[in-house]
C-alpha cells in the first residue's frame, strides 16, 4: 500500500506545511534557548592565571534548555559523522551528548597518565602553558569520519592536537564543533582547512 495521503496532492501539501510549521516553531524555541545559554555563560577574570579571561560554560551545562540547544547546535556540524571525539574535560560532557544526538559512539581524548592503553600521544601549546593529549587504544578505526567536540576554541592547539590523534589512527576529521570560540586568539586561522563550527563567538 502506498504512503500517499488519501486527500490527494492538496492533503500531502497540508501535511508538508504542518511539518514545516512545526520545524519552524521548534527552531524558534531552540533560538530562545540559545539566548538563554548565551546569558548563562560566565566570565572569570584572572583564571587560571593573571591576564586570562576564563569563559566558564558550567552554568550552561547545568540548565536543561540551554544545554540541549548547545548540543543540537554542535551536532548539526557533521550529522553524518561515524564517531565523536570529546576532549578532556568539558569536551567529555558535550561530546557524549552530541554523540547520542548523532547516533554515534564517543571517544575521550585524555591528559597524560589516565589511560591504561595509549594508541597515540601529541604534545602542544595552550593559551596558558603546555599540554599533552592521548588517544585510547581500540577506539578510532581507519577510515572513520570523526567530529571533534570541545567547550572552547582559543589558540586552536587542543583541537589541532586532537585532530592529529585522529589522523594518526587513520581516521578522517570531518569537523570541529565548539560551544565558544575566542576569536581574538586565532584558533580558526590555525585550523585552516578544517570545518570549524562555533555555537557562540566572542
Does 150 participate in binding ligand ADE (rule CB under 6 A)? no
The stretch among 23-31, 32-40, 52-60, 114-122 that binds ligand ADE (CB under 6 A) is 52-60
Q: How far is the CB of 105 from ligand PRP (least distance, A)?
A: 20
Spot the catalytic one: 55, 88, 127, 134. Answer: 127
Residues that bind ligand PRP (CB under 6 A): 87-91, 126-127, 131, 150-158, 187
- Give the nearer residue to ligand ADE in terms of CB position, either 46 or 137: 46
- Give the nearer residue to ligand PRP in terms of CB position, either 73 or 156: 156
Q: HEC string of the chain? A: CCCCCCCHHHHHHHHHHHHHHHHHHHHHHHHHHHHHHHHHCEEEECCCCCCCEEEECHHHHCCHHHHHHHHHHHHCCCCCCCEEEEECCHHHHHHHHHHHHHCCEEEEEECCCCCCCEEEEEEEEECCEEEEEEEECCCCCCCCEEEEEEEEECCCHHHHHHHHHHHHCCCEEEEEEEEEECHHHCHHHHCCCCCEEEEEEC
- Give the nearer residue to ligand PRP in terms of CB position, either 104 or 155: 155
Does 188 participate in binding ligand ADE (rule CB under 6 A)? no
- Write out the catalytic residue numbers: 90, 127
- The residues of the shown chain that bind ligand ADE, judged by CB under 6 A, are 52-55, 127, 152, 154, 182
Amino acid at each position: 500500500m502506498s504512503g500517499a495521503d488519501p486527500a490527494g496532492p492538496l492533503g500531502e501539501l497540508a501535511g508538508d506545511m504542518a511539518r514545516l510549521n512545526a520545524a519552524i516553531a521548534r527552531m524558534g524555541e531552540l533560538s530562545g534557548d540559545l539566548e538563554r545559554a548565551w546569558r548563562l555563560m560566565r566570565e572569570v577574570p584572572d583564571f587560571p592565571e593573571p591576564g586570562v579571561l576564563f569563559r566558564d560554560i558550567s552554568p550552561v551545562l547545568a540548565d536543561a534548555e540551554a544545554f540541549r540547544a548547545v548540543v543540537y547546535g554542535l551536532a548539526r556540524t557533521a550529522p553524518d559523522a561515524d564517531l565523536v571525539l570529546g576532549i578532556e574535560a568539558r569536551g567529555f560532557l558535550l561530546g557524549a551528548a552530541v554523540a547520542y544526538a548523532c547516533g554515534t559512539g564517543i571517544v575521550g581524548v585524555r591528559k597524560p597518565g589516565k589511560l591504561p592503553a595509549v594508541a597515540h600521544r601529541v604534545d602542544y601549546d595552550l593559551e596558558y602553558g603546555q599540554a599533552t593529549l592521548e588517544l585510547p587504544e581500540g577506539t578510532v578505526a581507519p577510515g572513520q569520519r570523526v567530529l571533534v567536540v570541545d567547550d572552547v576554541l582559543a589558540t586552536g592547539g587542543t583541537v589541532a592536537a586532537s585532530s592529529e590523534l585522529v589522523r594518526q589512527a587513520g581516521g578522517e576529521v570531518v569537523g570541529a564543533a565548539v560551544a565558544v570560540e575566542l576569536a581574538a586568539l586565532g584558533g580558526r586561522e590555525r585550523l585552516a582547512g578544517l570545518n570549524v563550527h562555533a555555537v557562540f563567538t566572542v
